[in-house]
Each structure stands twice: as structure tokens, then as C-alpha cells.
Amino acid sequence: MIYKRSSALFAKAEQVIPGGVNSPVRAFKAVGGTPIFVKEAKGAYLYDEDGNTLIDYINSWGPMILGHAYEPVVNAVIEKARKGTSFGMPTEIETQIAELAVSMVPNIDKIRFVNSGTEACMSAVRLARGYTGKDKIIKFAGCYHGHSDSFLIQAGSGAVTFGSPNSPGVTAGTAKDTLLAKYNDIGNVEALIEANKGEIACIIIEPVAGNMGCIPPKNNFLQQLRALCDANDILLVFDEVMTGFRLAKGGAQELYNVKADILCFGKVIGGGLPVGAFAANNAIMNHLSPLGPVYQAGTLSGNPLAMAAGLAMLTELNNDKEIFNRLAEKTEYLHKGLSEVLVNRNITHTINRVGSMISVHFDETEVIDFETAAKGNNETFKMFFHGMLNNGVYIAPSAFETWFLSDALSYKDLDKTIAACNAVFE
């Protein structure tokens, strides 16, 4: 495929935007080459500035679960925009989407809307600290909860070592309160808790990891975390920015039958517009200002356009009783087809899948955490990425990102994707 116009647009963007992009993964640094500039999208397809059509497997990193430009969502936004785009005052639609979200998700009484997944996770941790009166948190290597300072932490030299900043601008003082654990390793979490008795406010986790490829929880890991939190007076925070309203109507809590204390949402809940949210029971949420002492605010929180898009999206998901089964079946079909090709081509690989999230790792080791995810052959992934792109399939431009399927994908699209994989390794 030819990307002459995309290349020209990227060169122009680099003059006025750092790295030419407004989010680093878009810059293609992990795979090489020039980012693709999108002109428009519809259903399962992206249409780029050079006139190419691409089958889309990132779906704006998750929210386009019903496909791009889904008519009920688009119409809801247009209708709301005609009445004003922002007021900085309460609107009825905020209550309507809050009621719907609370009815769909287990174990929550109240929800507060913010403007991004980063803001949701940042606010959830502040709330956990304010509610418990404790300062430290546990996060997991390879899990991404946005770019708030508390989350940009890398591992120390041992299981109970404090984290250290892995981005300039994050202070050592902030880093000392973030403890880094190994995903799917309950013994590692137990050691951290034992070494920091009575000091940990919360454990925050992607219940299904999506930022080191798709990695499911193994061996009742989430259930064991729940028990550890109960035994040690620690709040369990599920970052469901990716998994919420995608893996099931009630998200990962419903799928794995595990109750978290605080939930973070984003992506799907805004129907593609910038939005996030965090939610919990009354006792915890009533610690938020203006009811309680934990401060959180935002001029554009509950923005009417985002609320309209989110309400339309959640209404569709709530009314369609088969959508999550359809998505899981399509993802399983894709998994089997890709695996068959890679086996026949003698390509070392592992494929992980949960619901409509899937990733291909070019290593024979089972991928269960960041360490095993990092063992994948990145050179093979680069070839795979560009080969799929040249065959009309757009996947995440990083080996450490899950793919997201939309319901707009047809089985013909899936067959084309499998054929593209075969062509890459011919």
C-alpha cells in the first residue's frame, strides 16, 4: 500500500506536535515506519488519507465495540450538540447514564464521571487513600492505569523493594508509595503486603491485562487477591477501562464473579468520546466532595456530548442480550484461524484471548505476566504488523497491546484477516 499523504501529514505534524502525535504509541516507534493518518471510519473499517481501506482491530483502543460511526450513537451526539456542547452545570442525562451503569454493573451504588481513564484511576486511588487513611498502593508490572505519577513506576531489585520512577518528572517521594507486584503471582503480592503491614490503601489491577498484550488472570488470581484484601483491610480496585462493558454487561466482575471495592471505567462508557468514570458502594463514594473530604472535580466532567454518546452505547449493550456471546464467538473463530496458519507455517507463537480481546505473542512460552510477554520476538512482530497492514488489516502498532474486536466485523472480515496472516508468512 502507498502512504504518501500520511507521510506528508506526519512530517507536518512533527513540526507542531511532540513526536507528531498526541499519544506515544501512535508514533510507530515500536514497529518502525510512518503512522497511518485516518480520514474516516465506518463499521469495521478505517479509511486512511491515501485512500486505503483497513479492517480495524484497535477500534480506538476499545470503545468502538459496535463499530465506527454507529448510527444511534452518532445521532445522539448530533441531537445533543444542537442544544449546547458544555454548561458546567448539572444535566438530566448525567443521572440517566449513571442509573443505567449502576443497574448493569454488580456491586456499585454510585458513579462519578470524569474525562479519561487516567483521571478515573487517579481519582480512584486518591479516594482509596482518603477512605482508608493509608498511603501506599500496589500495582502490577505491565498494567497501565494512565499517566498519573503514581502509576509510572518500574520494578526495584526485589519483590519487596520500593518502585522507582520510569519517567522524568515523577518524584522519588511519589514512587516510594507505589509497590510493584508481579501479575498472576499471588505469593509476590503476599510478600509485599507482609513487608508493608497496615500501610497499603489499595491494590489496583487490570482484571484482564491489555497493556502487555491480552493476559487473563490465572489460577483464581483475582479471587485470591480479593481474599488477601479482605484479610488485610485493603481496597481492591479494578481498572475496567478496557474490560468494562466489553467482556460482559457487568465487566470482569461479572465474568469472573469477583467483587472489587472501586471500579474504573472509560472507553466503551463514552461511546468513543473522551470520558471516564469511577464507582463504588455508598460508604466509599460518600467520602467524595461535596459529601466528604476527598476532593475531585472537573469542569467538563459529565459533558453532555459524552453522556449522550455513552447513554446510547450502554443502552444498545444492555438491550442486546447476545452481543457478548457474538463477540466471543468471533474472537474464538479468529483465534483458531490465526493459530492454524501460524502452526502450518511453523511460526513460534502463543495466542491469548478473553471475550473480544486477543493478542498474538511470538514466543512459545505461556504469556502470563510482563516478564513472559517481553520474551516475544519483536522483529517477527514488526514484520507481522507491517505485513498485515500491507494486506489491509490494522492491528495495534505494539506487541504489548491487545487487539479489540467490534461487533461490526463479519466472518468474511475474519477470513480476510486470517488470509492476510497467511500471506505475511508465505
Question: Which positions are annotated as active-site residues?
Answer: 144, 239, 267
- Each as own residue / partner, the long-range contacts of residues 341-349 (CB below 8 Å, 24 or more positions apart, any chain) are 341/418, 341/421, 341/422, 341/425, 342/421, 342/425, 345/422, 345/425, 347/380, 347/425, 348/377
Q: Can you tell me the distance from the alpha carbon of 364 to that of 375, in angstroms, rounded to the nearest whole number?
A: 9
3-state secondary structure of 297: coil
What cell was used for 216? 487473563
What cell was used for 145? 492505569
Strands of the sheet with 403-404, listed across from one edge? 350-354, 357-361, 403-404
Q: Is the distance from CB of 100 to CB of 318 less than 8 angstroms?
A: yes
- Each as own residue / partner, the long-range contacts of residues 170-174 (CB below 8 Å, 24 or more positions apart, any chain) are 174/149, 174/150
Q: Is the distance from CB of 121 to CB of 151 less than 8 angstroms?
A: yes
Q: How far is CA 208 from CA 99, 273, 285, in A?
A: 26, 23, 24
Q: Write phi, then psi, for 405 (nearest 5 degrees).
A: -95, 150
